[in-house]
Structure 1
Amino acid sequence: MEYNPIGDTLIPGSPHFIPLRFFLDNPQYRHYWFIEYDVVFTGEWSTLMYDCDGNLDDYDFLSSHIEKYGEGNREWPWWHRDNNCRYALEECVKGFNPICRYSNRALALLDSYMKEGHSAHSEVMITTCLHNHGMRIADIGGTGEFTPEGYRNRYYIKGVGINNGTMRWRPPFTMEEIEALGTKDRLFHPIK
């Protein structure tokens, strides 16, 4: 694929190679959803997808925990690991992408950009590249500046800290925990 991964394996750091490979083999779609195996939605998946495809159709990338580099997140380690995305940290944007939706043109741009030799952890690479190339990115929950009106904490609940809440890196949720919460139409990650 002519990309520079940040390590010898896809995880951590290069899971965006998977939707890029699919896009290169199947360039005919308008949008491409990517959902990791350990994401759960406490509703019908069609509810989330139809809503996003209908109301957020003009966005090039949808994800969670999208935010610019700043005082509250500067200690997050992925800003610094093998970051060769061409932008100063002050211009970088992160996202948490266990579930995300790309537009066709977003994947085409990422493919071209990465073939120029740029690389970084996927949670920095994708959002930084797209944002700095003028593409529209949106957070489908949370409370930050990239969250469109009507989507604050809509599909996941943002907790305190970096990548926390119902969409987080660790600790894992159990299905029993999620069922006990009784929440409807919310994303949870990771499920073990």
Structure 2
Amino acid sequence: MIELPAFLDGTATCATTNTPDLWHSTLAVDEARAAAHCRACPLRQACADYALTNGEQRGTWGGLRAKERRRLLNPADQSWLDEHDRVRRPCGSDAAYRAHRRYDETCEVCEAAQAGRVEEQRRRLLETAHAKGGTANGAVLHRRLGEPVCVRCRAAVARQSAAQRKARMARAQQGPALALAS
């Protein structure tokens, strides 16, 4: 059980709720509920400051989960709290892009960085497809990258189409009774 500091005089949300275990739970759903309760608390900022100053390792303090506090205290992490008390990451990172999406925001820096990451991943996958001699998925990747489909990937699409056509014809020749049985 977490020991409450003296400044939490009984007016804090955590002191007046029927669920005191909520504030030291490690379950994500409980942490989210506790953080939501904290948003309306008049002592939220003092509580968060206390936890950050005293290095509280467990629980939700001032709406900040333990993981969020560790991020804020790690200078190499470069996280900060925005005006809505949400932990934010430097723009251009994958975490910042996901946060912008979660909060329905747009950021040109994050969008450009994400487009670069997606292109890099598609190029790696295309390299793997080419190492296999070309694949139908490789053809899709070429199109998504906005480039013409190479001969090897185009040939793989043709082989796949021929195999699908052959399978359809075989099913049609089996007749309706056999087709339903399979």
Return the TM-score normalized by structure 1.
Answer: 0.25
Structure with the higher fraction of residues in strand conformation: 1
Normalising to structure 2: TM-score of the pair?
A: 0.26
Higher RCO by CA contacts (8 Å cutoff, separation 6 or greater): 1
